[in-house]
């Protein structure tokens, strides 16, 4: 193919085709990735209202406004602790999330999200007050660094873990990598009408 044709083909690709990234090249191979942390998780819900009640009253998440572009479907955004939870109302009968909603089946090896906690007893008391079934266990680490865990499910059967995993040291299993602690990470500005609150 001649140079002019090659240039034309490249031009056409830029206009009409979406170029998908592959492996190799870029910053990934030369240094730490420019990732800052987990932004949000998204949950498909049987009842958005029930999930709002669960995550706000039990785990202290705060209901925040959604951008107008997302108002075409029923849902809600929650935020706290540097992470968002996006709730989406389940619409169709065939829409499901492949989870077992039965609270008695609490298997720590199942898929779950985990929240760091500085007062495990306070969370356990909340679970008892709301009569939520939970599994409690302690995992012994090296040098007596025990980790306490609480496992329970939200109204749609999604597994949640609460733990004090800061007791465990992060030791790279191979050559030293670029582990970036969340220290100093930027969070979305918080707008508030309450006197004395700052964003």
Instruction: Give the catalytic positions in this structure.
Output: 161
Q: Which residues contact 114 (CB under 8 A, 6 or more apart)?
A: 160, 161, 162, 163, 165
Quickly tell me which residue has 């709730």 as its tokens: 87
Q: Are 87 and 76 in contact (CB under 8 A)?
A: yes
- Buried (b) or exposed (e) across 53-62, using 16+ Cβ within 10 A? ebbbebbebe
Contact 127, 22 (CB under 8 A): no
CA-wise closest residue to 85 among 41, 52, 50: 41
Return the C-alpha torsion angle 30, 31, 36, 39, nearest 10.
40
């Amino acid at each position: 193919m001649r140079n002019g044709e090659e240039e034309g083909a490249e031009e056409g690709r830029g206009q009409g085709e979406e170029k998908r990234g592959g492996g190799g090249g870029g910053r990934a191979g030369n240094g730490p990735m420019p990732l800052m942390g987990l932004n949000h998780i998204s949950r498909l819900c049987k009842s958005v209202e029930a999930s709002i009640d669960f995550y706000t009253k039990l785990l202290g998440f705060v209901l925040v406004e959604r951008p107008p572009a997302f108002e075409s479907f029923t849902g809600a955004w929650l935020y706290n602790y540097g992470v968002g939870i996006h709730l989406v109302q389940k619409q169709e009968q065939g829409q499901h999330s492949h989870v077992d909603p039965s609270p008695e089946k609490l298997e720590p090896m199942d898929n779950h999200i985990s929240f760091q906690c500085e007062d495990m007893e306070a969370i356990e008391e909340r679970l008892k007050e709301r009569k939520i079934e939970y599994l409690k266990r302690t995992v012994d680490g090296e040098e007596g660094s025990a980790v306490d865990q609480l496992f329970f499910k939200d109204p749609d059967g999604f597994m949640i873990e609460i733990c004090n995993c800061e007791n465990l040291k992060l030791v790279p299993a191979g050559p030293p990598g670029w582990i970036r602690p969340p220290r100093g990470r930027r969070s979305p500005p918080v707008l508030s009408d309450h006197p004395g609150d700052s964003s």
